[in-house]
Amino acid sequence: MAAESKRFYVVDALRGFAIISIMLLHNIEHFDFYYVPENIPQWMASIDTIIWDTMFFLFGGKSYAMFALLFGLTFYIQMHNQEKHGEDFRPRFAWRMFLLLIFGIINSAFFQGDILSIYAILGILLIPVARFSDKALFIIALILFLQPYEMIRLFIAIQNPEMQISDPASWAYFGKMSEYAAGDSLFATIKGNLTNGKVAVLLWNWENGRYFHILALFIFGLLAGRRKLFAWNDATKQFWTKALIISAVAFIPLFAIKTSTGNLIDSDAIRRSFSIIETSWTNISFMIVLLSGFVLLFHSKLMHKVLNVFTPIGKMSLSNYVFQSIIGASIYYGFGLGLYKHANTTPAFLIGLVLAVITWLLCSWWAANHKRGPLEAIWHKATWFNSEKRHH
């Protein structure tokens, strides 16, 4: 397999892996509708805890980060392809982000935790920096990665450790979700998700420093594309091996600090800002462990066929992301089957596994008969609707 072709296969497989991990997380969360059924046997509650803790350890805060990095990589690939034909992709990318925002709003109607609309808005910020030097981009990404806003808040908290802080503003909005998600009205659920739910998610992402890290990862993905890190050769194999080792070594102390923060810091103000910064670094370090480990295993003889099952899922990542929201809401919310009342973590996880298998089967069938997923085809046609030349 040619290096250029193989690069796209591993990227699609990574997207598929991220989609499945997100699907499993969303299921045990009841698609953001947190509810613990009553009278769960103790033995099952113990299994629930193991599954919940394991899934969030592996994927919580990591899957979205992997997607963000791949988003930046895709931006580079599209821009580079157009530059080879003497065209500037940036104006069309702005239009493409508007289309993604529409998909995000549709998705938000069913799942308030939608990330597409956030990617669409932050993606616009790639346009002014797209042609910066590698050094300038790296510096910008590094500053964003360090969480500058929360650093300032931490500095202020250190100067005033006794100052009182209020609960995050998002909590009040999340607390209202049961008012519409538990009801049997689809219209009320959509309205609630697009109003109260959207505010809750936007605030939560701000409160947890996600905007800074998403944009940083966009830029790191752009740099990865420039350096052709997903083309497979001896140099990139060495890079991903080093990335795996360094990120794994960094993760161990970061995770130890994360789990001990409550005991190490007495001040609420200091602890909150420190925890936001430290947790985001911990998550990104483990995301790199997953990413680099996946890339290395994907190119090994032993694991290539196993991990390649994610490729057709990744080719339809937009479709799969939106469809899982619609299906998940229909399974757990009150307007649908209302399983939030009955499915604790273990059965919700099993539902997620069944949906993952069904997703793989449908995507494999679709990929054998179509070049793009259904929503991907719409997005592509709408992106190039007024262009006679469509350079892919």
pLDDT in tens, 53-73: 999 999 999 999 999 999 999
Instruction: Establish how many alpha carbons lie within 13 A of residue 107's alpha carbon, considering only the half-sphere containing its beta carbon.
Output: 24
Region for residue 147 given its phi and psi (left: phi exceeds 0; alpha: psi -120 to 50; beta: otherwise): left
Quote the pTM value: 0.94
3-state secondary structure of 372: coil
pLDDT in tens, 328-343: 999 999 999 999 999 9
Distance of alpha carbon 86 from the chain centroid: 33
Burial of residue 247 (number of CB atoms within 10 Å: 0-12, 13-18, 19+): buried
Mean pLDDT for the stretch of residues 109-137: 97
* Whole-number pLDDT of residue 8: 65
Q: Is the dihedral of CA 192, 193, 198, 203 positive or negative?
A: positive
- DSSP-derived secondary structure letter, 341: G
Closest CA to 256 of 267, 264, 244, 266: 264
Supply the Cα-derived Rg of the chain in whole angstroms: 21
Could you tell me the two tokens for 118? Answer: 């956030």
- pLDDT confidence tier of residue 387, bands split at 50, 70 and 90: confident
The mean of the pLDDT values for the chain is: 95
pLDDT in tens, 136-192: 999 999 999 999 999 999 999 999 999 999 999 999 999 999 999 999 999 999 999
- First-to-last CA distance in the chain? 20
Instruction: Give 137-202 as a DSSP string.
Output: HHHHHHHHHT-HHHHHHHHHHHH-TT---PPPTHHHHHTTTHHHHSSS-HHHHHHHIIIIIHHHHH
Mean pLDDT for the stretch of residues 193-198: 97
- pLDDT confidence tier of residue 7, bands split at 50, 70 and 90: very low
Burial of residue 248 (number of CB atoms within 10 Å: 0-12, 13-18, 19+): middle
Could you tell me the two tokens for 85? Answer: 């034909």
Tokens 């193989």 locate to 6
Residue 367 has pLDDT above 90, yes or no: yes
Percent of the chain exceeding pLDDT 90 equals 94
- pLDDT confidence tier of residue 389, bands split at 50, 70 and 90: low
Closest CA to 172 of 195, 196, 191: 196
Residue 248 has pLDDT above 50, yes or no: yes
Residue 109 has pLDDT above 90, yes or no: yes
Distances (CA, A) of 72 to 26, 123, 134, 199, 223: 24, 8, 14, 25, 8
Instruction: Establish how many alpha carbons lie within 13 A of residue 282's alpha carbon, considering only the half-sphere containing its beta carbon.
Output: 21
Q: 292 near 243, Cβ under 8 Å?
A: yes
Could you tell me the two tokens for 184? Answer: 């049997």
Q: Which amino acid is at 63?
A: S
Domain ranges of the chain: 3-383
Residue 281 has pLDDT above 90, yes or no: yes
Mean pLDDT for the stretch of residues 346-365: 98
